[in-house]
Amino acid sequence: MSYFVCASLVVSQMVCASSLQAETADLQFFGDVLITNKSLYQTDSKYAVPKVFGDSLPLLNTAKHNIVNLEGVIAGQLPRTTWKQYFLRMPPQSARLLRSAGIDIVTLANNHSMDFGFPGLLSTMMALARADIRSTGAGMDITTASRPVIIDLEGRSVCLLAFSKTLPETFWATKSQAGTAFASETLTVKRVKDCSDLGLFTVVSIHWGQEGQKHAASYQRELAQSVIDAGADLVIGHHPHVVQDIETYKGKPIFYSLGNFAFGTEPISGGQEGLAVRVTFAKSAEEGPRIEAVPLAVSNQVVRFVPRPIEQPNQPALGTSMPSEDQCQWHQDRWICRF
């Protein structure tokens, strides 16, 4: 059985502390990350002093592994190889900055990892490797793009898979072409079964949904259920830049979108939202993991490129779509849910 907790107290007690506890989580997931020259300048960040993550460092420091969706290419100047509205590129020092903030795993299955074609993807993967950051979701062909990251924890191993359900189609890896791992049901189910059959706790990260839409589309729900039927234990989504529905299927949590984390743009409309999901495994393999959902302030009109946990927001300001009220209660600084 999986359940949400507030700080270190189980939800059956229905109480929580007003500030984040220092207990170490095994895994911590965040949404989209894009580091820009503007965000580095505004925060005076350097790779050894990642001020762009400054207000989130206490949270980042309470997890063994921090995992984000890297929404863009790490490279110097490169020519554009395709046409699209937005091309996202991060300064070359971004990988070292991520690592110094405690982020050691990224997913690359999204609609920007191929913005500058194969040279951009290769530059990104080399920068990540030099910074000792592992990645999944993109590669030299579909086999390597869909290859999981295996996270070894004390007494347990986790399989992390990443797929994209976004366009353009030319970004998708094939048998002979580099790119991202497209989330076809056939491929996702096969990769999940490969991990599940080995007895690994399996997490599936999917880039999907409509930007700005706070409710998951029917195809998202269908795919989430398919991967859980295949053996996935947790589904993590992103792409809409806002937090989408959170629900369970067969007792397995589905976070359709975690929204943004550190995203270095300043859209006129604002309205960006973020959520961190913390997973802590019990000593007994038979007992389900403890899961915390930590709301984040990420709108750059408010936080000026420095995301932070929300300590005491008004309930409506959080903007998240949660399960039914009989499953979840709002208490002080987060949703407390049990399933």
Q: What is the mean pLDDT of each run of 10 residues along the chain (339 residues)?
A: 35 32 84 96 90 95 97 87 82 96 98 95 98 98 98 94 96 98 98 97 98 94 98 97 90 93 86 90 80 89 93 50 57 57
Domain limits for position 252: 3-10+22-337
pLDDT value for 204: 98
Burial degree of 9 (CB within 10 A; 0-12, 13-18, 19+): middle
297 found inside a domain: yes
Q: What share of the chain is helix, strand, coil (3-state, %, to 5)?
A: 25, 35, 45
How many structural domains is the chain composed of?
1
Is residue 145 domain-resident?
yes
Collapsed DSSP state (helix, strand, coil) of residue 64: strand
Question: What is the model's pLDDT at position 16?
Answer: 32
**pTM > 0.85:** yes
Q: How high is the pLDDT of residue 154?
A: 86
Is 113 among the domain residues? yes
Question: Could you tell me if residue 17 is inside a domain?
Answer: no
Predicted confidence at residue 5, as pLDDT, reads 37
Has residue 16 been placed in a domain?
no
How confident is the model at residue 287, as a pLDDT? 78
Structural domain includes residue 15: no
Q: How many CA atoms lie within 13 A of 157 on its CB side?
A: 11
> Quick check: is 126 in a domain?
yes
Q: What is the pLDDT of residue 132?
A: 98
For residue 161, the model assigns a pLDDT of: 98
Which CATH number goes with the domain that contains 39? Answer: 3.60.21.10
Asked whether residue 84 is assigned to any structural domain, the reply reads yes
CA 215 – CA 323 distance, rounded (Å): 12
Distance CA 265, CA 316 (A): 24
CA distance 67 to 230: 23
